[in-house]
Structure 1
Amino acid sequence: MNPNPRQLLLLHAVQAQGSLTVDQLADKLGVTLQTVRRDVQRMADDGLLTRFHGGVRVPSSTIENIAHPQRENLHAEGKARIARAVAAEVPNDCSLILNIGTTTEAIAKALMQHKGLRVITNNLNVATILSANPQCEVIIAGGVVRGR
């Protein structure tokens, strides 16, 4: 699921408060109770929220409960800004370490035009992304990933 802007506002409101009632969310978002219930149900189905009678709360371990595609889309604009800023600071012909996380995957995508990089990572998604750059050597725990 790609949360729409209203659903992202709903998610951020619940994350900020820990839990909210459906009535509170409807007032906060300026939408009907039915709209909130529908959004909450979709987000609960995707593991982003936990429903309870009359309300919703953040799951006990939110990030672990969110599937990778949803984590990629969560705060995507912020991750893209971070990735652009990092890529602007990384010179060509250098070595760097990128660890686990969807933000580092966004950084890997932003580094695709760099030359002479040596990237050490434990993130197979980062390795896969950067292996498409023939100007980048990617090193992971099992050895060197060769470009295509």
Structure 2
Amino acid sequence: MGGLPEESWASSEATRKSMQGNRSRDTKPELAVRSAVHRRGLRYRVAARPLPELRRTADLVFRKAKIAVFVDGCYWHGCPEHHTQPATNPEYWSNKITGNIARDQDTDAHLQEAGWTVLRFWEHEDPETVADAVEQTVRSALERGIRNS
């Protein structure tokens, strides 16, 4: 008890505790984007499944407009600009990040097949610029929906 499990991915107990403390939602970049989108008068679901049968959640979900927004972390999603490979346990982390990227692509494909628009942004992108893109896409989708009714 107190030690690492036999098959732990962590190189040390401190690393394990640190990594377990990482948030999967309500990160600073996500909160900044949500706040900026909210100030524009748009309302959305937070950390919701766009497709109930798909066990994946988007950071912001606009159900009526069928838009799913993801604010991806540079490390966890393999940002080409900022992702760095750790020196400790590199094979594990390389496989982990590659798997995350593949899951992101699979999620996008499922959502698009179901008629959803997927917007993905990196955590390092300016929240106001992201919110502008989200607002434009949502308002355009809603406007098209009204015209097609």
Does TM, scored on the shorter chain, surpass 0.5?
no
TM-score by length of 2: 0.31
